[in-house]
Amino acid sequence: MESLVRFLARAGSFPRRHAETLIREGRIRVNDAPALSPSLQVNAQDRVFLDGRLLSAEVIKVYIALNKPDGYMSDLKDTGGRKLARDLIKHDLRLFPVGRLDYHSEGLMIFTNDGDLANQIMHPRYNVTKEYLVKFKGLLPKEVVTRMRQGIHIEGELYQAEAIRLVKKAPANVWYSMVVNEGKNRMIRKMGAAVGHPVLRLRRVRIGKLRLGDLNPGEYRHVERNEII
């Protein structure tokens, strides 16, 4: 036996407060009767419905690819009142971001409720690479590109690019493709600053096998796990 609100949190990945709201709004039925209390006890034989849809006790894994625009926070909360990338996704499930992007960075983010996938994406030992398009200030000399590939020590940590190549060169518009297999905080921005070529713009275009594709800023789509790794 468990409380109805706990069942909803587990089966639907709903935050507790949202689950309580669903019950108050009369959208939850247990067997053939409306649920009137979050503390109502349910067991494995009970059938719980949300808006007429049967909820399974088995947690459904969800994977969403989002094109995060500039000016959005990757965190699930922000006390400063800034816009949240999570709010761009119209989904009731409790999802968390994998591979965060800082406030001014753009591009591919994954939101999921699959903790195992998150661990595989973020831990270097699984070698799930991420690709970025990076606009540095100025053209990178060959020796700087070599340093980035070999690794740069910053504040006692090694920051290293698996690959870096020039993809667009114009007088005031130099872009590189940069591949890394780690998710250190502000990694590419720190590397650019360390070699004297600050990052002017940063867009993630790939995580594992999953590419950003033609998603416009602020758009998202559901994907399958095997599209990612």
SS3 content of the chain, % helix, strand, coil (to 5): 25, 35, 45
Degrees to nearest 5, angle at CA 163 with 210 and 178 = 60
Would you tell me how many other CB atoms lie within 10 Å of the CB of residue 124? 11
Partners of residue 109 on adjacent β-strands: 66
92 classed as catalytic: no
End-to-end CA distance of the chain: 37
Query: Phi, psi (5° rounding) for residue 203?
Result: -135, 120
Return d(Cα 181, Cα 208) in angstroms, integer: 9
Of the residues 51, 102, 114, 116, only one is catalytic, namely: 102
Q: 67-103 burial string, b = 16+ CB within 10 Å, else e?
A: bbbeebbbeeeeeeeeebbbebbeeebbbbbbbbbee
**Which residue, 35, 33, 34, 29, is CA-closest to 49?**
29
Would you name the residues annotated as active-site residues? 102
